[in-house]
Structure 1
């Protein structure tokens, strides 16, 4: 299903544009879109695919400086880190090759969140959706 994008100025990087879209598709579509977008130069993006019955969701992010990030998202919206990736991070930390906290931050996408945060805020009339935690 084609998605029409409305492009507006991106205040976080003057001279650039931003767009936001919501869409529906079969599971795995976010990965295909991510793969296509990574071929563009100087682009930053994040794509979230919600979990559906029997299928975990996914989060994909890309920045020119960090490259690609992908994570599985559970039904509750949490990033799910596979056991083998946790074991690998712990082993590398035990060998002194990485700092465990920094490696865990990468597994959770923290560097991508920090880099993308200024771009998430809509400006000049662009749409923005604020998410609130239920307490």
Structure 2
């Protein structure tokens, strides 16, 4: 066996961010546990009041770990229907970046993102939008807006502005 046949592939490591835009105080420990279970570590977040929703709190956490960690975090948070959140996973060679957004009235959506953080709409989704809209230009615009996560962006935008002066917490997943 040659040396080339004995190389071991290491899992790709990526980074991302979890924004819990709005949650009731009573859910803090549950959300920390959910994200901690996804990254394999016990966590304590720094929580702040959310000015966009009186009585709600928010937290922002940066993470690093294997590709797929963002999906695990988003899945762990998806069960909390009254929580507004976003999770990103940065692209790395061999893996697309992703962004998951959740709003109580809309549920969860996922989109691929490029290195600049822009949503990338796959060809098949564009073709489906064209087919669903038929000759109606307004329907096409609505389909494309949905494909890019427009309804989620509009819902979450007021909550995002609250993060401009937030402290940063880093999570590191081992193995």
Under a length normalisation based on structure 2, what TM-score does the superposition of the two structures give?
Answer: 0.66
Q: Does 2:121 align with 1:74?
A: no
Whole-Å separation in 2 of the counterparts to 1:127 and 1:113: 23
Correspondence for 1:57 among 97, 103, 123: 97
List aligned pairs for 1:5-24, cutoff 5 A.
Answer: 5-24=45-64
Consecutive unaligned residues in structure 2, runs of 5 or more? 1-38, 169-175
Larger Rg: 2
- In structure 1, the partner of 2:69 is 29
Paired residue for 1:44?
84
Greater RCO structure (CA 8 Å; 6+ sep): 2
| 1:119 paired residue number | 159
Residue 126 of structure 1: CA displacement? 3.2
Matched, 1:90 2:126: no
- 2:21 is matched with which residue? none
Cα distance between partner residues in 1 of 2:80 and 2:154: 21
Distance 2:155 2:47 in 1: 21
RMSD (Å) for aligned C-alpha atoms:
1.9
- CA shift in 2, pair 1:23/1:9, >3 Å: same
Greater strand share, structure number: 2
Q: Which of 134, 138, 146 does residue 106 from structure 1 map onto? A: 146
